[in-house]
Chains A and B, each alone.
Chain A
Amino acid sequence: MESALSFRNVSVRYRPEDPFVLRGISLDIAPGEKVALLGLNGSGKTTLLYSAVGLVPFEGCISVCDVELSRTTERPIRDNVGFLFGIPDDQILFPNVLDDISFTLERRGIPREEARQRVLPIMKSLGIETLAAHSPHRLSHGQMQRVALAGALVSNPPLLLLDEPSAALDPVGKVETAELLASLDTAMLIATHDLGFARLVCNRFVVLANGMIAEDCSHPERINRCWHQSTGDGNA
């Protein structure tokens, strides 16, 4: 596999009469590479993640694991991606936590009992093993985020697309999750505002501004300056 995710001159607009939300994005993510997607609100981070799995209409060319994204390849591509939505309770589809996480494996043909056993280690590493029998709608936002993240990680996909994975986590949970993600050899694109979290997990940083790539580098110091310039924080 040459690249885990590739965008070639990708532009996105939600309707033909609307302005472009993303313009001419070209970006390659190698297998195992961890990329942070930074940017202000409305800069297009979530839209870029959505476009990678065909949830929004796009122009240009997107490939996941060397397979070009189209109507016919959408399903197999989505099976190769672990996706975390920005609002995690939207992606929880079952009335108890264990069923929801094991669903990811069951729909890949793993028998139910085996799937339920195989999700336990990831639940433990995210600190949600005690929530197995809980109803998702009774969980806190942070707990829901961990459940959704477990559902994305459990099948060990070659590519992870994570939208604000640290948004609702407490400081301890943030560090634990960052360490867990950093320990995986999976390629990932993480949309976040949290530069500290991004630095713990990622080795490459892409800054989006007004729907275009404003910076793409691997030096934390440089990205720190760029980030503080774009946020208008002169104290950096």
Chain B
Amino acid sequence: MRRLSPSARLACGTLVFATCLVAPIPSLPGISIGCGAVIGWVVLCGLPGRRLLALSLYSMALFLPLFLLTPWLEAAGPIRGNPWLDAAQIPLAMSLRGTCCVFVCAATMAVLDLADFSAALGPLPIPHIIKNLLMQIAHQTAMLANESQRISVAVRIRGLPSGFTPKLRFLPAVPTIWLLRIMNRADRIAAAMDLRGFESFTRSSPASISLMDGFAVTTALLALGAGISIRWLPV
């Protein structure tokens, strides 16, 4: 996967993500197309087993609560058997689709570091302002993650106060400190952007597409096309 250009990696990841969104998940062909594309993408990106396990646990924590809504849901189509099982298809479809999207995002991020992401956006046919915005979101998120890590290290080194009540009093202060630091930082970054003239900047990068890039993007496009045709075209 690393042999593909950053733009091809980003385009493939986006197309596989779109396939997950459009594939009619409750149906067998939809599941085959959606899950097939995701499994293929995850394997090609070489996501390690431990990361897969962590992502599965994260998805379960995120989506399992949806099943608690089953008693209040109505089946999407005509009831064919147990009404609860029919109604459970709605949270099942949402969970499957969401889990697939989580896996695709994680796999794409595994093969695109920050510098790659910036290089990937360059040749894509999207407006410069959107490119700059996306690049700043990615770059500043990494910087903020770093800042958050520093705060968390500081809290660990200095220690929390002993006793349950002091701990309870202290814990709500952490997000406040974090938020204030982030807001101050945002102000300073805005000043630096203004000073360095970032708002008027456009960078054009020449697009070069190799045979392998073309093959990868075409395959991802075919998967998306299959998802669309199963969902919307009459068979």
Interface pair B118/A99, CB less than 8 Å apart? yes
CB of A83 within 8 Å of the partner chain: yes
A83 to B196, alpha carbons, bound, how many Å? 9
What 1/0 flags go to A82-104 for Cβ under 8 Å of B? Answer: 01010101110111100100011
Hey, which bits of chain A sit against chain B, CB under 8 A? 50, 53, 55, 75, 78-79, 81, 83, 85, 87, 89-91, 93-96, 99, 103-104, 106-107, 112, 133, 135-137, 151
Interface residue from B115, B193, B197, B200 paired with A133 (Cβ < 8 Å)? B115
Interface pair A137/B196, CB less than 8 Å apart? no
Query: Are A96 and B196 also in contact (CB < 8 A) when A55-B191, A107-B201, A135-B113 are?
Result: no
CB of B60 within 8 Å of the partner chain: no
Instruction: Tally the A-B contacts, defined by beta carbons under 8 Å.
Output: 75
Q: Which 10 A-B pairs have the closest CB atoms?
A: A95-B114, A91-B192, A90-B188, A96-B115, A95-B118, A137-B146, A107-B201, A95-B139, A137-B142, A95-B115
| Distance to closest chain B CB from A223 (angstroms) | 29
Task: Name, among A87, A99, A107, the residue most crowded by chain B CB atoms within 10 Å (CB to CB).
Answer: A107
Interface residue from B118, B193, B203 paired with A106 (Cβ < 8 Å)? B203
Interface pair A90/B189, CB less than 8 Å apart? yes
**Number of residues from B at the complex interface, CB < 8 A:** 29
Interface pair B192/A95, CB less than 8 Å apart? no
Interface pair B142/A85, CB less than 8 Å apart? no
Interface pair A87/B188, CB less than 8 Å apart? yes
Further 4 A-B residue pairs, CB within 8 A, beyond A50-B191, A75-B197, A78-B194: A81-B195, A95-B115, A107-B197, A112-B205
List 21 A-B residue pairs with CB atoms under 8 Å apart, sorted by A's residue number. Answer: A50-B191, A53-B195, A78-B194, A81-B195, A83-B195, A90-B185, A90-B188, A91-B195, A91-B196, A93-B136, A93-B189, A93-B198, A95-B115, A95-B142, A103-B196, A106-B203, A135-B113, A135-B114, A135-B142, A137-B142, A137-B145
Interface pair A95/B138, CB less than 8 Å apart? yes
A79 to B201, alpha carbons, bound, how many Å? 13
CB of B104 within 8 Å of the partner chain: no
A99 to B201, alpha carbons, bound, how many Å? 13
Q: Which residues of B contact A133 (CB under 8 A)?
A: 115
Interface pair A78/B195, CB less than 8 Å apart? yes
A87 to B189, alpha carbons, bound, how many Å? 10
CB of B135 within 8 Å of the partner chain: yes
| Distance to closest chain B CB from A65 (angstroms) | 16
| Distance to closest chain B CB from A204 (angstroms) | 25
A83 to B113, alpha carbons, bound, how many Å? 29
CB of B117 within 8 Å of the partner chain: yes
| Distance to closest chain A CB from B141 (angstroms) | 10
Q: Which residues of A contact B191 (CB under 8 A)?
A: 50, 55, 90
